């Protein structure tokens, strides 16, 4: 199975992308709704949670992991690779950066994300490693996760808040913008409208699943270990009506949801 974890429901946007690009592969998802969100918590704590999340997915039979959570990708990736050296673990940040680099003409890239993701400095670090004069402009948008979870996707209040967050980035003349949080693709239309048509928006889920696809094409041993019956299972550490509604609504189909304790 392909295992995907997230702090809560956000990683379902990555699930949706896997269902689209790799429809035959069986998925196991873990959303840590008992401790959600991760984005305003410390790097040490998010790392501890992420390790527990991966361990749970491996126990459930996952052979390949996607950190479907930008916050965990940003702060915990090195720790996860140290903790699980034999497991292929993918993150949602590296592929997004590669895509942004490939499309920017002015070498000015914007990033929006949670407080923890932006505070990690991961995007600056990755772009500096490219050593090619890329400039990155970042904006933490802590209110977008609660707004998306309330399904306030087209409300005037949301438009006003999105405009406020993006106005500074717009003034920096970026031409690529990374949606550095798995909730943000649900606001993509609104974000695109506010940032203007000259700016290309990068959805990390899309790029991440393309990376996984390429990896599987060249790693037959791992690919053949992955079940391909399309029977997915979704674990959450706290199952509320909201979780059920969001899962069904975002994925566009009813899914098998189970509650599981994590500590």
Instruction: Give bridge partners of residue 112 from the DSSP assignment.
Output: 139, 179
Q: Which of 69, 109, 141, 145 is catalytic?
A: 69
How far, in Å, CA of 134 to CA of 4, rounded? 31
| Minimum distance of a copy of itself from residue 195's CB (angstroms) | 18
Alpha-carbon torsion (17, 42, 30, 217), positive or negative: positive
Spell out a b/e string for 133-171, using b for 16 or more CB atoms within 10 Å of the CB, else e: ebebbbbbbbebbebbbeebeeeeebeebbeebbeebbe
In the complex with a copy of itself, the residue whose CB is nearer, 25 or 234, is: 234
Instruction: Give bridge partners of residue 113 from the DSSP assignment.
Output: 140, 180
In the complex with a copy of itself, the residue whose CB is nearer, 48 or 170, is: 48
| Interface ranges with a copy of itself (CB under 8 A) | 33-35, 40-42, 45, 115, 142-143, 146-147, 149-150, 152, 156-157, 160-161, 164, 238-240, 242, 263
Instruction: Give bridge partners of residue 140 from the DSSP assignment.
Output: 113
| Minimum distance of a copy of itself from residue 46's CB (angstroms) | 9
| Minimum distance of a copy of itself from residue 101's CB (angstroms) | 31
Known catalytic residue: 181? yes
Q: Which of 181, 191, 216, 226 is catalytic?
A: 181
In the complex with a copy of itself, the residue whose CB is nearer, 106 or 160, is: 160
Q: Are 166 and 26 in contact (CB under 8 A)?
A: no
Known catalytic residue: 69? yes
In the complex with a copy of itself, the residue whose CB is nearer, 84 or 152, is: 152
**Catalytic residue positions?**
69, 181
């Amino acid at each position: 199975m392909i295992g995907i974890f997230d702090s809560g429901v956000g990683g379902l946007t990555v699930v949706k992308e896997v269902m689209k690009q790799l429809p035959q592969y069986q998925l196991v998802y873990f959303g840590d709704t008992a401790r959600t969100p991760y984005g305003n918590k410390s790097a040490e704590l998010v790392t501890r949670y992420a390790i527990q999340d991966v361990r749970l997915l491996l126990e459930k039979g996952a052979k390949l992991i996607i950190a479907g959570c930008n916050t965990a990708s940003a702060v915990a990736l090195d720790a996860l690779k140290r903790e699980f050296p034999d497991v292929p673990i993918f993150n949602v940040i590296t592929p997004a950066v590669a895509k942004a680099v490939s499309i920017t003409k002015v070498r000015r890239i914007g990033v929006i994300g949670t407080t923890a993701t932006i505070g990690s400095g991961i995007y600056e670090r990755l772009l500096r490693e490219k050593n090619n004069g890329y400039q990155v402009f970042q904006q933490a948008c802590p209110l977008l996760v609660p707004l998306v979870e309330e399904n306030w996707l087209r409300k005037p209040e949301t438009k006003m808040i999105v405009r406020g967050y993006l106005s500074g980035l717009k003034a920096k003349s970026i031409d690529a913008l990374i949606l550095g949080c798995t909730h943000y693709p649900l606001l993509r239309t609104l974000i695109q409208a506010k940032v203007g048509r000259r700016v290309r928006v990068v959805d990390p889920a899309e790029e991440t699943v393309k990376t996984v696809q390429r990896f599987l094409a060249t790693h037959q041993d791992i690919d053949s270990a992955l079940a391909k019956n399309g029977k997915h299972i979704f674990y959450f550490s706290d199952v509320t009506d909201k979780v059920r509604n969001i899962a069904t609504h975002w994925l566009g189909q009813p899914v098998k949801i189970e509650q599981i304790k994590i500590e």
